[in-house]
Structure 1
Amino acid sequence: MASYMDMVTVLMCLFIVLYAMSSVDQDKYAALRNSLATGFGMESSQSADTAQGIVVPPELAGTEGLLTTSAGEELDSEQIQELANAEAQRLIALKDKIQGALAAEGYPQAAAYQIDRRGLSVRLVSAETFFVPNSAELTGKAERIVRAIGPVLVDAGMQIAVEGFADVRQPVDPYPTNWELSASRATGVLRVLVEDSGVDAAKISSVGYGDARPVHGSQKLQLNRRVDIVVLSNQREEIREKLPELTG
């Protein structure tokens, strides 16, 4: 009796397997077969991405010049150039909007601009100082300039870094060094952008560089008491590194 039942069980399993094979997706079955064969070293004509269970066609295996994004898409050099061109145009358009907002408020010379691999830097430098010595408090003019820029940054919706700087003279109380002074200046601008203009607090940060990165010599100390607002590009490195040559 036991042998008969075993035979019935085996036959039932056979019929189930035959039925399953009759309705299998042939493309998926072929991909599975090739993937297994490659994994066991039985086929050398195709390469397999074993992490994803995907067979790479022979014509794409070992292709040079392809760059894989974090999402898994692949870009060739022509596509990267196209994306870099588009990003450069986006940053130039943003610069023009900021300049237009400043001009509308009567401050067309209040900022200098630079586009590099980080994105767009808006340098608040003019013939007048934005900060009095040993102070992180914005002058009235400086506040109006920051408020003019704010709505443009809100519409852009990009990540922003506010960078503060100081001149070479050492501060006195309450700032022990220029590091604290420059960081306070950056934070002051950040607060105006967030609290007055409505910039998303999750998309903005501040940092102080002390007197380590001057843009002018000792004859123009007031121009080193400044803040840079950097609108950060969200493109990958291979795209961002082309921005200076496209906007220089």
Structure 2
Amino acid sequence: MHKPNIKAAYNAVKKSTIKHSPEILTGIGIAGMVTTTVMAVRATPKALRLIDNAEIKKANETNTPYEEPNLSKTEIIKVTWKCYIPVAITGGLSIACLIGASSVNARRNAALATAYSIAETSLKEYQNKVVETIGEKKEQTIRDAVAKEKIDAHPAKESEIIFVGDGETLCYDVLSGRYFKSKIDKIKKAENDLNRRMRDEMYISLNEFYYEIGLPSIKIGEDIGWNIDREGYIDLRFSSQLNDNDEPVFVIDYGCGPRYDYRNLM
């Protein structure tokens, strides 16, 4: 029999805990807030009894008729604060867990944004060097080959093709992986219109581009986009290919891809 490797098991649990720490902290925080509410409800009757006793005692000491309430706010706090110590501790710990989860997510998102920016810069430098080394025509040949591989790997299904107007040209959007029928002039016009808008508005989301060409929005479409101070204008790259049915497909790629922090002008 193999002896259990306690150290390996501990490291595995530790790694999993660190990886899922935001979810764990959020769960503990939510459970803690529910517990805090329950504890506060349970502590209230005891606090009310203490208030009643204090009011009776005060009335007897001052030889005044018992009239409810006859305690000041400060006196009420002095009488009841001990009842809510567990509530305050549980609530404080719950808030700390929720803040901790948010802090971990913020640090991770910042790290991802930095890594993304570095990777994007490296990719642009590589693309520019490829064009400089082999020339624009050969670079376009490579792009066409990549576009061909993409539509071969994701063939169009008639039921999944989106009709966005009266256009009959079959198009494939590389970012969302969607086929749709439209007019090439309409897509180019949307690119130009949005680039003009960016001169005033500074940034455009991916969903705004999809809206202009008639495609439905996607979940991530509001989180990524273009910023004129960072990436410059929207730069669509087109490649005309034939699919397995020898049907022409207009592949839409992005010379300057949308990024997550496009709203951040700093």
Which of the five TM-score ranges fits, normalised by the shorter chain?
under 0.3
More helix by share: 2
TM-score, structure 1 as length reference:
0.26
Give the TM-score normalised by the residue count of structure 2.
0.25
If you compute each CA radius of gyration, which structure gives the higher value, 1 or 2?
2
